[in-house]
Structure formats: C-alpha cells, structure tokens
Structure 1
Amino acid sequence: MGYPENVLARDEHVVLHRHPHWGRLVPAALILIIATAAASLLAGYVNTLAWEPTAKNVVFLVIAAVWFVLIGWLAIWPFLSWWTTHFVITDRRVMFRHGLLTRSGIDIPLARINSVEFTHGLIDRMFRKGTLIIESASQDPLEFTDIPQVERVHSLLYHEVFDTLGSEESPS
C-alpha cells in the first residue's frame, strides 16, 4: 500500500515507505491462534456435557464474547496500529505518522537533518530490522524503532540528505 498522495506537496515524490517490521505482529498472531484453540476446545468440551440446550447456548455466547474481546484487544488492535504506522522518506522530508483513533506525526525537512545513524543488535540483524536515529538542527535525536532493512534505509536517507543539500560531501 503506497502512502496517500494527498499529504504530499506539489512535485514531492515518495522515495521509501515502510511500516514497522512484521515481527511486531508475531505476538498478536500467536494470541489469535492460542485464543482460538482455547475457545474451540472449551466449546467442544461444553458441547459434550449433558446440559440443557439453553445453558449450553449461554456458555457458548460467553466463550464467543470473551474470544472477541481478547482478539480485538490483543490481536486486531496491534495489527491496526501496525497498519497505520508509516515511516516515509520523500525527496523533501522524512515523515513519521502513527495512531489509529488519534493520529500524530512529525515531519523533518531533509535540509534540517544533521546526522543519520542506525543501531541493531544480533537479534535485530537476524530479522533485518533496527533503530534509525535522526538528528536534526533544532531537536534532540529522534529514534524510530523496528525499521525493516534499517541499513538500506539509513543509506538511502543519507544519500537523499546530501543530494538535497547539493553538498560537496555528497557521495557519488
């Protein structure tokens, strides 16, 4: 899914658009699988009991309600949060937007960026993700975690910054 064009200025082009690393969704997927298995086993057990049909239906509704609440809160909400988090590099700025019900974000013009760093430990390297640190002229460094292929993003951003500045230090 590309980043919405309506937030871009005239003649501004997206160079890179990323959501956080997919690894952020693994706990939500595990919760979905475990909760569904547990609800199925419990419903199957209740079905084998010699209860009245009305009592069984009430228990089934309670199981379904608990399942929906757990899945909504611990699986669907993290997915929607992931889906609505955007790290975007354009030919003019770096944008970070996040939030589902209330959105927030930050824009950093490329000309204001002083340095770009990245960090990633052994596990991060195995999953090809990391933290991107951007230091701008007017703010404390900003850290963006769980950036997929952080080394590539770092290199791309570095080149965009120096291409924008037209600096003599610009890499060839």
Structure 2
Amino acid sequence: MRAALAHRQIGVFLVVAGALALAVAWWVEHVLHIMPCELCLVERWPWRILILIGAVDILLPGLAGGPILWLSVPLLLASLGLAFCHAGVEWQWWPSPLPGCHAPQITGTTMAERLASMPLLPGKPCDYPTYLIPGLPLSMSVMGGLYAAAVLGVFLSMKNRARRAERRIFH
C-alpha cells in the first residue's frame, strides 16, 4: 500500500513537471509572443510523453506502477540531449540538424515564382537564443536542459525512496 502510494506520487510529480515545462513554453509563445524555432518544438515532445507516463502510473498503479515509470529516464535523457544539441547550435558549435532551422530556399525565375516558394510564416533561426531573464546568460534551451536534469534527479531520488519503502515492507 505504502509503495503504491509512493509510485503514485512519482506519477503525479511527472505529470506536474511535464505540464510545467509545457506551460512555460506556451507562456513564452502565446503571452510573450516569442516564436519558437523548429528545435524548440521538438524539445517539447519528451515532456508530452512524460505527462502520459505519469498519467498511466496514476490511473493504473497496480498494473503499471513501477516499471512504466522507468521510461521517464530515457525521455529525460533525450530532453537533456535535445537541449545540449540546441545550445550547441546557439553557441555556433555545429549547425542545426533540422532543415527548418536554416534559411528558406527560394526558387523561381520570376518574382511570382519566388514569392510562391517562400514559406507562409518566417521561421525563427535555431541559432538565435531566447533569453527570458534579463542579465542571466542562460537561453531557454539551456534552462530547459537544466530543468530536465533537475527533474531526472528528483525522479531518481523519489524512486530510490520508493524502493527502500518496498524493501521495508517485504523484509
């Protein structure tokens, strides 16, 4: 009973952590009107899946409880990797791996053909960092990576505590 509660708390934590990450991204995009680049959009996916894992754990603690929670580790590592990749693009260490982060290829011989080949919305270049806190030289992608590392640390700590609680019950 106590171990199931600990697992359910971890599920709630994952849902809240994922929702917070997506809420900040939504706030930056829709309230501050800062357009995300293609890498920013990709960086949101691990958080969406993390919410799903947490929700499954909350709804099915007896069936999925412990094992499904471990899927959050590769997701958080993927989030860290995406943040590192994005930071490297921002710091000019390497080019973006995504084609949408590069200048659009405009083709055509006439002005009408060139206008027709232009994208409907201009894309934000992935190498242009977004700084949310004035005076703090951490871009959103770097802060996202630090957040993913913190969530991973808290998750591992909570899992360790749940494992110790299970040992006490069975011994």
TM category (shorter chain) comes to 0.3 to 0.5
Q: With structure 1 as the length reference, what TM-score do the two structures score?
A: 0.33
Taking structure 2 as the reference length, the TM-score comes to: 0.33
Larger gyration radius, structure 1 or structure 2: 1
Structure with greater helix percent: 2
Greater strand content: 1
Q: Which has the higher contact order (CA 8 A, sep 6+)?
A: 2
